[in-house]
Amino acid sequence: MLLVPIVGPIVLAVIAFLVRSAVLRSWLVVVNAVIHAAATAVIIVAPPGPMFGGWLAIAPLSRLLLGFISAQYLILSFYAPAYLAERAERPNRLFCAALIAIIGPMSAVMIAHHLGLMWVAIETATLCTAPLLYFHRTPRSIEATWKYLLIGSVGIALALFGSFFLAYAAAKGNVGTSLLFEDMVGHAKLLSKPWLHSAFVVLLVGYGTKIGLAPMHTWKPDAYGEAPGLVGALLAGGLTTCAFCALLRFVQILYAAGEGAVAQELLLVLGLVSMAVAAVFMIRQRDLKRMLAYSSVEHMGIIAFGVGIGGKTGTYGALLHLINNGFGKGVMFLTGGNIHRAYGSRLTDQVSGSIRLVPWSGALFLAGFFAITASPPSGLFLSELTIIKSAFDEDQYGAAAVFLLLLAVAFMGMASTVIKIVQGTPPANVTGPRREPVLTVAPAVAFLIIVIVLGVYIPGWLDDALVDAARFVENRP
C-alpha cells in the first residue's frame, strides 16, 4: 500500500501522455487525485509496516503531511479540466503527464525514511515541475523555468553535501554508515558535534532554497509569476511542504543529539529575515502574482519562526500554519489566475474592479486576502496566535515584537495591492461581468471553507496528528 501513492501517479502519467484526447487527459488528473486520496486515507487510518528494510515507512510527521498534500492535490485537480478547457489552444500532453506524475515523488518525500531516497524524491519532484512552469511557452516562462531549475539545483546540491556531512558525522562517531533516519536519531548523541552542526547549516541553506526562505528565495517571484494559478498553488502549498518535511527530519536529529537549540536559533533568525524581506517587497507591489510569491516567502518565514521558537506549542503552531497556508494559497492562486486571464495582465495599472468583471473570483480573491493575512476567523489567525503565544511562553518578547511588526507591514503592503485589483472600475478595454465556469471557482470556495473551519474548530483527529507530529520532530515521548 505504501507504493500506491508513489507508483500509481507515474503509471497514470504514462497513460495520460499516450492518450490522444486532450479532454480525457485533463480528467485523468482528477482520477489520479481520487486514487491517491483513497490510498492515502487507507495508509493514515491503518498504517502499514515498513518496506524495503525501513527505507519506506509511515511516521507521525509523514502521516500528517502526506494527508495534507493529498487533500490539497485532490481539490486542485478539479480545477485542471476547466482551466485546460479555457486554454484549449495550448498543447497539454506534457503538462497533464507532469501534473499527474508530480504527486508521486512528493509522496515519496513524505514516506521515505532513508536520507538518500528522500533527496532523490525531492529532485524528481523538481524536475516534474519544469514542464508545468513552461506551460505558457513565452520567453518569460522559459526564463523562469531555467531560473527555478538552476537555483533549485544549487540548493539540492548543497542539500546533498549536507547529507554527506551528516554521514561523516556518523562515521566520526563510530555509529556505522546507515542512512536511515531511525538509526540517525537513535545514535544522535554519538554523532560528531562539529560535523553535525556543519551538516545542519548546509542542509538549511540547501532545503531552505527549495522552501524559499530569504535570501535563497530569488527563484520564487519569477516562477510564481509565470506559473499558471494551479501550478502556483501546488508550488506554494505542496512542494514547499515537501522541502519543510525534509528539513524537519534533520531538526529531529539535532533534538535527539541534544543540540536542538542550534536548529532553533538558526530557524528563528532565518524566519524573521524572510518575513522582513517579504514585507519590504510587498509594499507597492504592482504584480499580483509576484505579490503572492512574496507572501509565500513571508509564510515560510512564519513557519520557520514557529519551529525556531519551539517550546510547548511552537512546532505545533508551525505545522498547523503549514497546512493553513497551503489551503489559503489555493484560494489566492486560483482566483488570481482567473483574474489574470480575464484582464490579460497581472499589473495593477491594468487590473482594477475585478469584483465587477469576474464577481466570484474578485470576491474570493478579497476573502482569500483576509484569510491569508490571518484575519479572524481564518485558520491562519489561530496558527499565528499559537506561535505568538509560544514566543511569550518562552520569554522571546523581542522576537515576538518584531514578528508582530513584520506581520503588520506585510498586511498593509499586501492590502494596497489587493484593494487596487478588487475595487474601482474595470479598464475601458474589458467588459463584464464575464462567465466563470463552475470548476474554476468551486475549488477556491472549498479551500476557503477549510481555512475558515480550521479557524474556529480543529477536529480531534487533526489535533492529535499535530501533537504527535510536533513531538516526533522535537523527539519527545
Q: ∠285-286-287 over CA atoms, to 5°?
A: 100
pLDDT in tens, 237-282: 999 999 999 999 999 999 999 999 999 999 999 999 999 999 999 9
What string of H, E and C letters represents the secondary structure of 96-126? HHHHHHCHHHHHHHHHECEHHHHHHHHHHHH
User: Is the omega angle on the peptide bond into residue 215 within 30 degrees of 0, that is, cis?
Assistant: yes
Distances (CA, A) of 183 to 113, 187, 191: 10, 6, 11
CA–CA gap between residue 26 and residue 228 (Å, rounded): 15
pLDDT in tens, 102-145: 999 999 999 999 999 999 999 999 999 999 999 988 899 999 99
- pLDDT of 236 strictly over 90: yes
Q: Give Cβ neighbours of residue 168 (< 8 Å, ≥ 6 apart).
A: 192, 195, 199
Q: Give Cβ neighbours of residue 146 (< 8 Å, ≥ 6 apart).
A: none
10: cell is 507515474
Torsion of CA 355, 360, 366, 372, to 10 degrees: -160
Q: What does the pLDDT read at residue 431?
A: 72
Q: Mean pLDDT, to the nearest integer, of 358-381?
A: 96
159: cell is 542539500
pLDDT in tens, 282-293: 998 899 999 999
Q: What does the pLDDT read at residue 440?
A: 95
CA–CA gap between residue 253 and residue 115 (Å, rounded): 12
The model's pTM is: 0.96
Q: What does the pLDDT read at residue 312?
A: 82
Percentage of the chain exceeding pLDDT 90: 89
Residue 52: DSSP 8-state = G
* Percentages of the chain per state (helix, strand, coil), in multiples of 5: 75, 0, 20
- pLDDT of 316 strictly over 90: yes
Give the pLDDT band of residue 173 (cuts 50, 70, 90).
confident
- Residue 76: which of 289, 295, 326, 330 has the closest Cα? 330
24: cell is 480525457
The per-residue pLDDT of the chain, averaged, comes to 94
Q: What does the pLDDT read at residue 176?
A: 75
Q: Mean pLDDT, to the nearest integer, of 318-330?
A: 97
**Torsion angles phi and psi, residue 112, rounded to 5:** -65, 135
Q: Mean pLDDT, to the nearest integer, of 324-349?
A: 94
CA–CA gap between residue 427 and residue 432 (Å, rounded): 10
pLDDT in tens, 52-94: 999 999 999 999 999 999 999 999 999 999 999 998 888 899 9
Percentage of the chain exceeding pLDDT 70: 100
CA–CA gap between residue 17 and residue 81 (Å, rounded): 16
Q: What does the pLDDT read at residue 177?
A: 72
Q: Mean pLDDT, to the nearest integer, of 377-382?
A: 96
